[in-house]
Amino acid sequence: MTSALFSPISLRGLTLTNRIVVSPMCQYISDNGNANDWHLMHYGSFSLGAGGLVITEATNVNPVGRITHKCATLCTDENEAALKRVIDFCKKFGVAAHGIELAHAGRKGSTVPPAMGGRPLKPEEDAWETVAPSALPFADWHVPRALTKAELPGLVDDFVNATKRADRVGYDLVEVHFGHGYLLHQFLSPLSNQRTDEYGGSLENRMRFPLEVFAAMREAWPKDKPMGVRLSVTDWVD
């Protein structure tokens, strides 16, 4: 009898050869947001089939959404071309399907990589202004700027544009980052979202922006390709 773990599974038009998934793991080694030879080796080695699906690390939809200066982004033609080189290589020599996690760090951005301490960047280290649902810092980090309602459609556009780029790169699946205390999780949580407009307060209101993002991304993503979200199922925001 074959174990379910090693059995195929279909998600919309994508059939995985097994149910082992290589989770997205931040590498903190991108160059100006671009994938490089490290990613060619890293994802190429996972593409040989032990896992039926390999998910590329949290890839941010704009530069403000990065965690660190070394994080991946998918918001320029250069970013897209660099990732396409990696995924083309993985699909040429490997057998696994490939997904990508699209993200925005919100108030948890503008830091040094975890291996260097994970602390907030200092002004002389090219720190940038972070954004969040409310002007509430994570722990004793930078105080973020509260997003205005007028800015939210632009953020939706950033997620949608990254989604379209992911399709052109050749990804089979998109995972939207709703966890780890990053921006969309920050909207969901009453600890980090203390807005008084229709995007804050009740659970329905706090869910509004993340669901708007997801709906717009789903509309832009091919109907035969699966899309899902990553939830932390714990309020990891404080």
Tell me: the pLDDT tens digits for 78-122? 999 999 999 999 999 999 999 999 999 999 999 999 999 999 999
- How high is the pLDDT of residue 49? 84
pTM of the entire structure? 0.96
Domain positions in the chain: 15-230
- How high is the pLDDT of residue 237? 55
Overall size of the chain counted in residues: 238
* HEC per residue, 38-100: HHHHHHHHHCCCCCCEEEEEEEECCHHHCCCCCCEECCCHHHHHHHHHHHHHHHHHCCCEEEE
Over range 169-188, report the average pLDDT.
Answer: 97
Planar angle of CA 153, 135, 176, nearest 5 degrees: 45
Q: Catalytic amino acids?
A: 182
Superfamily classification of domain 15-230: Aldolase class I (3.20.20.70)
Planar angle of CA 151, 154, 158, nearest 5 degrees: 140
* Pair of tokens at residue 186: 């920050």
